[in-house]
Amino acid sequence: MNIDELSPPERRLWEAFPRGESVDLSSADPGLSDPATADRWGPDRYIRAEVLVALLAGAVEPESGHVAAVRLSGARILGSLNLGHAQVDVPLALTNCVFDEAPHFYWASMDSVHMMRCRMPGLVASGTRVDGHLWLEGSQVSGGLLLDGAHIAGILNMSGVHLLNPGGDALLADRLSVDANVYCDQGFTANGEVRVPGARVGGQLILRKARLHNPSGAALYASRLEVAANMFCDGGFSAQGSIRLRGARVGGYLSFVGAQLSCPDGIALNADDLAVETDVYCSDGFTSHGGVTFAGARVSGQLSLRGARLHNDSGTALSLQRLQAEEVLLRPAEQVKGVTDLSFAKINLLRDDPATWPERLQLDGLQYETLEPPLTARDRLNWLRRDTDGYQPQPYERLAQTYRALGLDADGRSVLLAKARDRRKTQGIPRKIVGWFQDVLVGYGYRPFRAASWLMSLLVFGTIVFSLHRPAILNEDDHPHFNAFFYTLDLILPIGDLGQERVFAPEGVYQWIANLIVIMGFVLGLTVAAGATRALSRE
């Protein structure tokens, strides 16, 4: 490039470059300092993009003892800043600059890049390698920010950045790799889809106070995202459109504390198959209009939904299906509006609150070690019976095992009795009749003292009947003493011999009564024996 063809502002930049000095073309008029007023800037603030390309491509040698750099403020960049496939060994720092065309850095190898509070009609940095930081703080990018396949060795700072591409990709960062932290906070906004599937962040991903808007699709598409440390979507974070974290991996904790999510016709937060090494917080004001799903997720610590508000009346508001977690804190601020699916989840400690139990649950296959609060069997049965799938045996068995593990055998038996009764409701009329008799007589075997009461009643009944109608003697040569009490007891006892039953034989209707006492005694005796065995073994 011929230096004689440079304009005065371009010559200033050319001469400042070898020493890495800053050139500030900003106007002294405060009304012209904002990049939004670039249409009113004069030629004294114009810099041709080809001048920047020449400097960054090595047209001027660094001055001895200095680090060359392009440091420019308050300029309007004319033309296309195209550094595609270039090798740039000096820093680029642009502040409060306005671009007429989208810069192109695709597959370039660059030193640190700072483009702060700039306005760009797009930025193409696909496959770019930045050996330092990529600093876009406070900039506005319309038409899409492309970082797919890029590798940033330092920090990616997009704090306060405004991305505008409604109906398209506001940020396209598939397979992006950042070795340090990523900042999308302090007023970061995106109108359009933010895509980071398969991206890798070596530090923290911070979306605190970010506002994402893409109601027709995904506000944040981050499937298979890998974050080595913590991920923050809190502090006023909001999203219009779905958040997709399916298959993502977070090495620290994931925070959605106080986040506001809205996707009324779909899944507001899809964290299926997510893996988090510590805790997940969807709590303290977290609100979702649309489904929230952690199906198949693995949380090594606590999944907290304390103080959350979940709304999806037409479907599943919260899915923890196949979740594996050390602890789930299911104590929302209000009753969940929609189905809560806990089927086939494995949770060590499940902490909930009867005041906010969902109206509709799915519990089949749920495994847990401890419930807090434990509550009585009657209260917990009200919890089980909210299952939308109706009677399922496994939830009753699991709850009974939990009570028995705590030494609460009576509560465990109450649950199993309720299981038998609820199962009876699903059976045909013949089985219902048999079941009803089993319930009335012996409580399906879980009420042994009820069987003992029936035995006593049976003994009293037989004693009265046979006192009034003494049975005949089988052998007239014998003259035994008849005792109605011991005769009835002899009929009732399935084993042993009191010497009455083999001597006396009733006739007619009384023979039928005797046979009934024998059968009832056999059944009730076995029930009492089984109940005693369970009590002694403390199952």
pLDDT over threshold 90, residue 513: no
Contact 497, 504 (CB under 8 A): no
- Higher local confidence (pLDDT), 36 or 145: 145
First to last CA, the chain: 91
Q: Can you give the pLDDT at residue 489?
A: 77
Q: Can you give the pLDDT at residue 27?
A: 87
pLDDT band at 188 (very low <50, low <70, confident <90, very high): very high
pLDDT tens, residue by residue, 74-125: 999 999 999 999 999 999 999 999 999 999 999 999 999 999 999 999 999 9
Span 157-177, average pLDDT: 97
DSSP 106: T
Lowest mean pLDDT among 145-159, 289-303, 333-347, 377-391: 377-391
pLDDT over threshold 80, residue 329: yes
pLDDT band at 512 (very low <50, low <70, confident <90, very high): confident
Span 282-305, average pLDDT: 97
DSSP 223: T
Question: What's the token pair of residue 207?
Answer: 């979306």
pLDDT tens, residue by residue, 462-502: 888 878 877 777 766 666 677 778 777 777 776 666 666 66
Q: Can you give the pLDDT at residue 539?
A: 44
Q: What integer best gives the mean pLDDT of the chain? A: 90
Lowest mean pLDDT among 398-412, 435-449, 460-474, 475-489: 435-449
pLDDT band at 234 (very low <50, low <70, confident <90, very high): very high
Diameter over CA atoms, the chain = 148
Q: Can you give the pLDDT at residue 236?
A: 95
Q: Can you give the pLDDT at residue 3?
A: 82
Note the helical H segments in 143-209: none
Span 428-433, average pLDDT: 77
Closest CA to 176 of 238, 243, 125, 220: 125
Span 276-298, average pLDDT: 97
- Higher local confidence (pLDDT), 482 or 341: 341
- Hey, how many other C-beta atoms are within 10 angstroms of the C-beta on 168? 14
pLDDT band at 538 (very low <50, low <70, confident <90, very high): very low
Write the CB contacts of 221 (distance below 8 Å, at least 6 apart in sequence). Answer: 193, 194, 195, 196, 197, 244
Q: Can you give the pLDDT at residue 531?
A: 54
Contact 161, 185 (CB under 8 A): no
Contact 232, 205 (CB under 8 A): yes
Span 436-444, average pLDDT: 62
pTM of the entire structure? 0.83
pLDDT over threshold 80, residue 300: yes
Span 188-214, average pLDDT: 98
- Hey, how many other C-beta atoms are within 10 angstroms of the C-beta on 387? 19
Percent of the chain surpassing pLDDT 70: 90
